[in-house]
Amino acid sequence: MKRYFVFLLCCLFVDRSAIAAERWAIVVGIGNYPQSSGWRPINGDKDLDLVVPMLKKNGLPDGHITILANEQATKENIKNAIHTLLANLRSGDIVYFHFSGHGQLVTDVNGDEGDYGYDESIVPYDAASKYDFNGYKGQNHIVDDELNKWLMAVRKRIGNNGRLLVVLDACHSGGGSRDECDEEDFVRGSRDCFNMPVIASQVKSSRNSIKWMCVSACKSYQGNYEHKIDDETRCGRLSFALSKILVPNITVRQLREQLERQYENMALPPLPQEPEIECGPAMTDTMTVL
């Protein structure tokens, strides 16, 4: 009888833990960068109208969604939003991080990219497009190394039972494929890399492996063209696609299949663009995304 009572308590504890898991989100959308930054306007802020309702449909309450739009989306505010979130997280929670805005390749100053020589970065509101542009030295770019450090703190708080989904509706292509394209005003990112001085004696580090699920709007060598909803309205191609397909209980495999299908059903961009999904070793095809 005693063993049965202990077993029953254990079952109740497991059930309460499953119920206690909560969903949280940080959503960043930038469309109107400062004119002094050198970045052209895009429609990253318009993605908020797609992403936030999608998250609510997936069970996230208003109080669990942090929104940073345009001038609110500075590097410091993004960092603080993640650190504030950490205080609320518990083991088993589910976290969604979304960035819609410009992306750029930045000189790899710690050597973790090998011979490639560049890190990927997302571009906050207060980051300029070129080194030494109006005195800017690159301090506000959020390179992948730094973002990964912030996200690793999230991963540690939610544990192996938690889920972390990172969505990047930006572009990190450093190629010149957009030079002759009339649609350049509606591409997220820059064909110009952000080149910084590299100290030859700097200590080299190794590249970190991903420990979450990351969904990107395009391959690393492709441009991210905004989706034209009508003659006056454009939005992120990835944000639009996810708003159509990301529903409760969708699995990783289903997301892959439906995302590719949704891209194919949308108006074709001027040049090929395919979504990319990377998963950490703990994410299996049968796991639910949110």
Question: Exposure of 62 by Cβ count < 10 A (0-12 exposed, 13-18 middle, 19+ buried)?
Answer: exposed
**Domain 22-279 architecture:** 3-Layer(aba) Sandwich (3.40)
On the question of pLDDT at 43 being above 60, the answer is yes
On the question of pLDDT at 205 being above 90, the answer is no
For residues 47 and 222, the model is more confident at 47
Query: What is the structure's pLDDT at 184?
Result: 54
> How far is the C-alpha of 234 from the C-alpha of 51, rounded, in Å?
14
Q: Which pLDDT band holds residue 103 (cuts at 50, 70, 90)? A: very high
Average pLDDT over residues 33-52: 97
Query: What is the structure's pLDDT at 123?
Result: 97
Per-residue pLDDT of 170-199, as tens digits, reads: 987 654 333 344 555 579 998 899 999 876
Which residues are CB-contacts of 71 (< 8 A; sequence separation ≥ 6)?
A: 125
With pLDDT > 70 as the criterion, what percentage of the chain qualifies?
83
Query: What is the structure's pLDDT at 16?
Result: 39
On the question of pLDDT at 143 being above 80, the answer is yes
> How far is the C-alpha of 180 from the C-alpha of 124, rounded, in Å?
27
> How far is the C-alpha of 23 from the C-alpha of 94, rounded, in Å?
5
Q: Which pLDDT band holds residue 7 (cuts at 50, 70, 90)? A: very low
Least confident of 83-92, 160-169, 170-179, 242-251: 170-179
With pLDDT > 90 as the criterion, what percentage of the chain qualifies?
73
- Nearest alpha-carbon partner for 154 in 87, 209, 55, 75: 87
Alpha carbon of residue 240 to chain centroid: 14
On the question of pLDDT at 159 being above 70, the answer is yes
Cα–Cα distances in angstroms (integers) from residue 256 to residues 104, 207, 273, in the given order: 25, 25, 15
Query: What is the structure's pLDDT at 12?
Result: 44
Query: What is the structure's pLDDT at 199?
Result: 60
Average pLDDT over residues 148-173: 94
For residues 78 and 10, the model is more confident at 78
Q: Which pLDDT band holds residue 208 (cuts at 50, 70, 90)? A: low
Which residues are CB-contacts of 21 (< 8 A; sequence separation ≥ 6)?
A: 90, 92, 93, 94, 161, 162
On the question of pLDDT at 132 being above 80, the answer is yes
Query: What is the structure's pLDDT at 209?
Result: 74
**Helix, strand, or coil (residue 15):** helix
Per-residue pLDDT of 108-131, as tens digits, reads: 986 655 455 799 999 999 999 999
> How far is the C-alpha of 238 from the C-alpha of 259, rounded, in Å?
9
Question: Exposure of 209 by Cβ count < 10 A (0-12 exposed, 13-18 middle, 19+ buried)?
Answer: exposed
> How far is the C-alpha of 159 from the C-alpha of 44, rounded, in Å?
31
Alpha carbon of residue 177 to chain centroid: 23
Choose from 6-20, 63-77, 193-207 the range with maximum mean pLDDT. 63-77
> How far is the C-alpha of 159 from the C-alpha of 152, rounded, in Å?
10
Least confident of 62-76, 248-262, 270-284: 270-284
Domain ranges of the chain: 22-279
Phi, psi angles (nearest 5°) of residue 171? -140, 135
pTM (two decimals):
0.88
